[in-house]
Amino acid sequence: MDKIDISEVCQHYRARVIRVTPLDDCYLVETNRGPKELHVWPRVDVMRWSFAWRERLAGQGFRELERFIRTREAKPYLVVGKRGVTMTDHLRHIEACSPGEDFARQSGRVVGMMHLSQQESPILAGDDYLKQEQMNAEAKWAQAKAVVESYRARYGKEKGEKRWVAELMTPLLQRMERSALMLSHESITPDAINVAHRDLLRDNWGMVNGKLYLRGFFRPQLSIQQRDVASFLRDLYLTHKDIRQVHAFLDGYEEVKPLQYSDYTLMLAFMARPREVWKSVESYVKRVSRNKEVSAASIEQALQSQQAVDQLLHHIADRAERSRSVGVDEPL
């Protein structure tokens, strides 16, 4: 938790502070006007960007989210040194969302509205974050190739489990290469790239007074909107194995913000990364290189998750093909 003078900060707000409790990601402030949360932002530009999209989203009619409380001077946030500070209401009673197509469609609409609100801000450039993703994908692919070459040279001809892992590496490298190439697909144009949170998750949703509530994003890691959608759909499908919820989310999203072929291409690029499988393989390789006891059980478990992701990829690719732009001939 960032150390700031809480008492000095709270003096800027129209509330009498009773008690302050440090939490993992904020300060819980009990006041005569109810419980509040005080958040410290490492980046002031991200705080300003977050304020802007929240206000635009509320202006679109969706007010079930955490908005910044204004100070005595009517400022929506404070800048203390090189950090930003915001105060929001603390909700004590947030219920879990009931999974299903209705929730998926509603959340899709809200995310579409949120993305429209975010892309209107000139504070952060989406193209910069796409370049970061492209460079990161290429770097991970290069690192993986080096790991594979080293492992194969030493264990590629052995029998049993070690050889099985060596054979598994070829399709993993192919997936990583494909993901990197899709991130630079010719259909992607700068006007289709806007900044969003890197990973939208189920934890960002709740029910408050019977209404869908959007929460969090106070210390966001940023990327582009297509990764936001890809992360949520991947998590949604791996949790429920229900493709109808995936399509319901996308239907709701497209009611507000239609998706182009390039959007689907980027979503598939992020989904195509064999994240869990490669992580488990990399861990296996490290233990082998240190002559430690190893087991491929975690790899086998990750492969089962990857099979579910592959099913999701197939459905998203089919949907993408149905929305293809005229003149794009390369299949996904």
CATH number at 239 reads: 3.90.1200.10
Q: Are residue 24 and residue 121 in the same domain, yes or no?
A: no
pLDDT digits (tens, 9 = 90+) for 200-226: 988 999 999 999 999 999 988 999 999
- Pick from 44, 69, 89: which residue ends a domain? 89
Residue 326 pLDDT: 43
Residue 94 within a domain: no
Residue 331 within a domain: no
Task: State which amino acid sits at residue 98.
Answer: S
Residue 327 within a domain: no
- Mean pLDDT over 42-57 rounds to 96
- Pick from 38, 60, 89: which residue ends a domain? 89
Q: Are residue 128 and residue 257 in the same domain, yes or no?
A: yes
Assign residue 77 the CATH number of its domain. Answer: 3.30.200.20
Q: What is the pTM of this model?
A: 0.91
The backbone torsions φ and ψ at residue 36, rounded to the nearest 5 degrees and listed phi first, read: -130, 160
Q: Are residue 149 and residue 268 in the same domain, yes or no?
A: yes
Domain that includes residue 61, residue range: 6-89
pLDDT digits (tens, 9 = 90+) for 249-272: 999 999 999 999 999 999 999 999
Burial 187-214 (b: 16+ CB within 10 A, else e): bbeeebbbbbbbbbeeebbbbeeeebbb
Cα 133 to Cα 136: distance, rounded to the nearest angstrom: 5
- Pick from 64, 89, 114: which residue ends a domain? 89
Q: Are residue 202 and residue 291 in the same domain, yes or no?
A: yes
Q: Are residue 84 and residue 105 in the same domain, yes or no?
A: no
Q: Are residue 147 and residue 292 in the same domain, yes or no?
A: yes
Domain count for the chain: 2
Q: Are residue 120 and residue 245 in the same domain, yes or no?
A: yes
